[in-house]
Structure 1
């Protein structure tokens, strides 16, 4: 049971659904997902807590710590938002172009699901979750293991506290709608199997994100 829970957390970290400070599903949800008795879930959570991978807060739930990120996937703690955006601009536009060429229909369906859920989000945290999943799904659709490893390392930097606090400070309903429109343009280019348009749409989106986060003009 303990190993099953570790696998679940590792998959959540890789997909971007979980990061340091993220709240884990409730014990009841874990019982259903892992098909295990609640007592086994509690014992497994207790072991992870002793190892410092999670922290349990009475009345609030169980939360991941930074120690939960595998050592080979940890971005340097002093990575700045500017550095994160520089790397994203180097990696993600070409990845989108590759995805436009090789994505399967299942990939496109998964990407479309993330886009739709993001469009339905009306609060910052929910939108950020689906934003992260969308970008991750696009990277997965490129079907390149080495690129995916590089993307995962880069993506862990988005879990750093400085990134999250900056995103919260600069988030507005209008900006979320703008990002959703930009996401839609990327996904439409992927559906059209248009690598050049996918790359350009991703670059424009990330440049806009950088402008909004870093105050660039």
Structure 2
């Protein structure tokens, strides 16, 4: 059975795929989503926050909540990608993105990345760490200041909304592994701050290889 966040993602991405929701489409109200998904308003709000974090929706005070172009791009991505395929793609893309970000990141970018790093290190449970992990990786991708690469990253990042991915991550996550991932994040961010493109790319590659090994039993 899908959780509220997964159900809402499926609703919006299906709508983007079949044309019900186009770029910039206004979402139903929270009350309408509560009725449609038979979920409490608090759960709907948490789900909306997660979607906003991933760039799928944009909330505008006084106007409402709108679907972004990211959702349209994601809707066109293969829905049956396996965790192994996703990790292979991440290993091809993210180290190169990190290397570019080391050269292109502004001071404001680096401060935002540092905030995500600190919050992830302070997280003491799976859900919180996963949330900040997602924000950290996307903030690094955003710091490359390349819209096409960011769109590619967002398509890859849809893995987090797949039930099989969430189940696999939760089953393999332990406090020790989260501490190890945080230490690897520290190395990536250190290289970014040093403007060390080769170091950032290599640190990201090592990190993703370890994630892949923990998830799939192979780098």
The answer to whether the Cα contact below 8 Å between 1:96 and 1:138 also exists between their aligned partners in 2 is yes
TM-superposed deviation, 1:61: 2.9
> Matched residue of 1:57: which SS?
coil
TM-superposed deviation, 1:64: 4.4
Corresponding position of 2:181: 179
Instruction: Measure the CA separation in 2 of the matches of 1:157 and 1:131.
Output: 13
The answer to whether residue 74 in structure 2 is matched with residue 73 in structure 1 is yes
The answer to whether the Cα contact below 8 Å between 1:21 and 1:64 also exists between their aligned partners in 2 is no
Count of aligned pairs: 178
Mind listing any 5+ residue stretches in structure 1 that lack a counterpart? Answer: 1-17, 24-42
* Equivalences for residues 136-151 of structure 1 within 5 A: 136-151=138-153
TM-superposed deviation, 1:20: 2.6
* Equivalences for residues 18-29 of structure 1 within 5 A: 20=6
**TM-score of the two chains, using structure 1 as the length reference:** 0.74
Instruction: Measure the CA separation in 2 of the matches of 1:136 and 1:58.
Output: 29
Q: Considering only aligned residues, what root-mean-square deviation do their CA atoms show, in Å?
A: 2.8
Which stretch of structure 1 is more off in the superposition, 60-69 or 175-184?
Answer: 60-69
Instruction: Measure the CA separation in 1 of the matches of 2:87 and 2:128.
Output: 21
TM-superposed deviation, 1:71: 4.0
Which of residues 160, 166, 171 is equivalent to 1:169? 171
TM-superposed deviation, 1:49: 5.3
TM-superposed deviation, 1:19: 5.7
The answer to whether the Cα contact below 8 Å between 1:104 and 1:141 also exists between their aligned partners in 2 is yes
Which of residues 57, 60, 70 is equivalent to 2:39? 57
**TM-score of the two chains, using structure 2 as the length reference:** 0.73
With over 3 angstroms needed to count, the CA separation of the structure-2 counterparts of 1:22 and 1:203, relative to structure 1, is farther
* Equivalences for residues 19-168 of structure 1 within 5 A: 20=6, 44-48=29-33, 55-58=37-40, 61-62=43-44, 64=47, 70-74=71-75, 75-168=77-170
Instruction: Measure the CA separation in 1 of the matches of 2:148 and 2:41.
Output: 41
Q: Which runs of 4+ in 1 moved over 4 A?
A: 63-69
Deviations 1:38-57 (A, max 9, x none): xxxxx82134457x6xx242
The answer to whether the Cα contact below 8 Å between 2:5 and 2:47 also exists between their aligned partners in 1 is yes
